[in-house]
Amino acid sequence: MFPSAPEVVSAARDFVRDVLAQEAPGLSDGQVDDVRLIVSELVTNAVRYGTEPGDSVLVVLAVTDACVRVEVRDPVRRRPRFRVASQERDRGRGLIIVEALAECWGVADRPFGKAVWAEVAR
């Protein structure tokens, strides 16, 4: 669990790197980088659009023989949506990146908010 603040994105990436080193030592550097980038994008979205001051986001990582599944949970039910990327602003590419790197991804309603999840094949 991480407090809702922009600086937690780096901490979430480090958390994922450490967990994958222990739970999935055979994962390639490229796969670890993909999972870390997905976490970065999902946590950024959760902090930016899914929380209020004082809220937290939860990063859940599950490693199976088939995939690495990441969930980022926040307390807001509003679902993420694709935004049109533009040259004038540096936002709007997160879900495009997630879709490009993940085998699949989606959103699940939770009793108090939502979980945005993505899976990277092993």
pLDDT one digit per residue (tens) for the chain, 122 residues: 999 998 899 999 999 999 999 999 999 999 999 999 999 999 999 999 899 889 999 999 999 999 999 999 999 988 877 666 556 656 667 889 999 999 999 999 999 999 999 999 99
CA distances from 70 to 60, 84, 89, 91, 117 (A): 6, 25, 27, 22, 5
pLDDT score for 65:
93
Task: Say which amino acid occupies 4.
Answer: S
- Residue 110 to residue 66: CA distance in whole angstroms: 25
CB-side neighbour CA atoms (13 Å) of 2: 28
pLDDT score for 84:
64
pTM (whole model) above 0.85: yes
Please report the domains of the chain, with CATH numbers, ordered by start residue: 2-121 (3.30.565.10)
